[in-house]
Structure 1
Amino acid sequence: MDTVKIRNKDMLWDIAADLHFPPGFDSKKKHPAIISVHPIGSCKEQTSGNVYGEALAKAGFVVLVFDASFQGASGGEPRFIEDPAQRVEDIRRVTDYLVTLPYVDEARIGTIGVCGGGTYAINAAMTERRIKAVVSITGVNFGRLSREAFSGYNPLGALEAMAQQRTSEARGGEVRVDNYLPCSVEAGRKAGLTDIDVLEATDYYRSPRGEKPHGATSGLFSHRAAAIGWDAFYLAEVLLTQPLLVVIGDKPGGFGAYRDGQEIYGRAASKQKELVVVEGASHYDLYDKPEPVAEALEKVVPFFTKHL
């Protein structure tokens, strides 16, 4: 594995990325490549890298896993911005980087994303035609989630609060960074939280199971307004034509991957598309639990092998 810093001529900061190589990698040959996109509040060392990235590299692909701008080891200020448009632009920029590598076949580039990364990958593919195949693993439409649960089902009220906070910060006030999760599963339960996604996210991100230094699970409140007005699936019926594989678990949770997976499968214009529902699996089971992940990869690897 190589760790690289990516900066294009139109960028003011670096994007940190890891390149995973297949066994017996030959830099003199052309290889299919896959861009792996991490979840909201995550980083490249978590599920997008150490689970799906590594598995796809072992299956014969060059895999690039990167940290979003303003997050992880990538640059950009202020920190902890989760702006969907920027997340999609990051995918374009790492595609720019891939096509400069002599060992990458520019006609065989795909993308995979987990959670929010899954729908960022889908949205990017609609207008980034260098991406030839797309996989969403328990993908969540962050715009829909921001308008619903993440705004207390009061998006206009949330926008007003964000506007006031941004004005305060512009005038030198204290920055507000919200943590999406409680400090522990026990603390969450004591606070009355019962949703499977919230509790399992806490188990993943707040324990040795998935905790990493850059997996902040935090968001800058004053810069979350853009997400409320965004929709990952806008124009999917017209623009999403690449082969598409959607993987979800059959245990619905508050983050909404089950409903979002069903929706995009139905709406996508892709002539070649497949919906895989992993029985007995929750959203976070598909992050790293061996059996659900293996079932997902049984579909993902042949999908990319066929279409790349």
Structure 2
Amino acid sequence: MSTIKAVNIPNIAWDTAANVHFPPNFDENKKYPAIVSAHPIGSCKEQTSGNIYGKSMADAGFVVVAFDASFQGASGGEPRFIENPEFRVSDFRFVVDYIQTLPYVDAEHIGVLGICGGGGYAINAAMTDYRFKCCVGITPVNFGRLSREAFGNFDPAASLEKMAKQRTLEAQGAERLVLNLLPSTVEEAKKSTTDIDVIEATEYYKTRRGQEPNGCTSGLFSFNSAALGWDAFNHAEVLMTRPLMAVVGDKPGGFGAYRDAQEIHGRAGSQEKHIVVLPGISHYMLYDKPEAVKPALDQVLPFLKKHLGERENVF
């Protein structure tokens, strides 16, 4: 069974909190391939990126670093609950800065995996930091597109007007507007919508199934404007050169992972790219449901081993 060590990684002006997941029978005198694992929007490292995919990849022989985004979870940064794609992608680079110095990590064999919004960020990070040798998006979501569409009521200009006014008020001393991105209970979710993603997200984040103290599904409204002008897949035709795998279920929901996975698979300039569409599977089943996670990992783990090395002293 893999073991976990909590670490603090220097960032721009604060620390990034991370958990390092070690393989079974870990030997610090050997070199291991490593994977950076990124959590969804409003999530934390103790949820799916760490306790499901992080653990599974470590059990398969990788050193895995699951981290909290800046301004979120146990990581530093003020004000809290900022969801800024530029910072989110920058976080990956600081994590790689740290792990490539570890004596037991093979710096030439580092990959990246992300779930939901973390999947979109992971893809963008792999496009702009070539220390990543391959990339996996688990039900990946382009947070820029989502912000312009469903999160912005399909009227991004109106959203930006509201954000501008709110940020001005806050700069003048008003209380910060922190939005809860989900209903409080599954019952409320079912009353408010028929969208499978909203209902299943609430069931994951607001019940004992996935609830964690730092998985607060909150967002600072006034600082969200950067997301509306951002695109996870910008220049993917030219910049995405790394082997890529996107895993998605065939039951689409309002957060748009199915379409985003199809888009990046089509646009990526990678010579090797795969899209895995799992029948009868929804977005949030891929967070922790064995009937979704197992077939996903059956594709992901061989892909990672192929591109990060399956050397005798590791696997």
Q: CA deviation at 1:85?
A: 0.5
Q: CA deviation at 1:12?
A: 1.1
Gaps of 5+ in 2: 309-315
Alignment of 1:1-308 (within 5 A): 1-8=4-11, 11-190=12-191, 192-308=192-308
**Amino acid corresponding to residue 111 of structure 1 in structure 2:** V
User: Secondary structure of 2:266's match?
Assistant: helix
1:71-118 deviations in Å (ceiling 9; x for gaps): 000000000000001000000000000111011001000000000000
Task: Let me know the Cα RMSD of the aligned residues.
Answer: 0.6
Segments ≥4 residues shifted beyond 4 Å: none
Q: CA deviation at 1:127?
A: 1.2
User: Secondary structure of 1:106's match?
Assistant: strand
Paired with 1:235 and 1:187, the residues of 2 have a C-alpha distance of 40
Paired with 1:272 and 1:291, the residues of 2 have a C-alpha distance of 27
Q: CA deviation at 1:26?
A: 0.8
Paired with 1:46 and 1:306, the residues of 2 have a C-alpha distance of 27
**Amino acid corresponding to residue 18 of structure 2 in structure 1:** A
Q: CA deviation at 1:123?
A: 0.2
Q: CA deviation at 1:189?
A: 2.1
Paired with 2:122 and 2:303, the residues of 1 have a C-alpha distance of 16
**Amino acid corresponding to residue 9 of structure 2 in structure 1:** I
Percent of pairs identical after alignment?
A: 65
Paired with 1:259 and 1:56, the residues of 2 have a C-alpha distance of 26
Paired with 1:99 and 1:259, the residues of 2 have a C-alpha distance of 34
Paired with 1:127 and 1:153, the residues of 2 have a C-alpha distance of 28
Q: CA deviation at 1:41?
A: 0.2
Using structure 2 for the length normalisation, give the TM-score.
0.96
Q: CA deviation at 1:264?
A: 0.2
2:312 alignment counterpart: none
Q: CA deviation at 1:129?
A: 0.6
Paired with 1:267 and 1:278, the residues of 2 have a C-alpha distance of 21
User: Secondary structure of 1:178's match?
Assistant: strand
**Amino acid corresponding to residue 6 of structure 1 in structure 2:** I
1:250-287 deviations in Å (ceiling 9; x for gaps): 00000000000000000000011110001100000000
Paired with 2:283 and 2:111, the residues of 1 have a C-alpha distance of 23
Using structure 1 for the length normalisation, give the TM-score.
0.98
1:203-257 deviations in Å (ceiling 9; x for gaps): 0000000000000100000000000000000000001010001000000000000
Paired with 1:188 and 1:209, the residues of 2 have a C-alpha distance of 16
User: Secondary structure of 2:109's match?
Assistant: strand
Paired with 1:189 and 1:115, the residues of 2 have a C-alpha distance of 22
Paired with 1:188 and 1:243, the residues of 2 have a C-alpha distance of 38
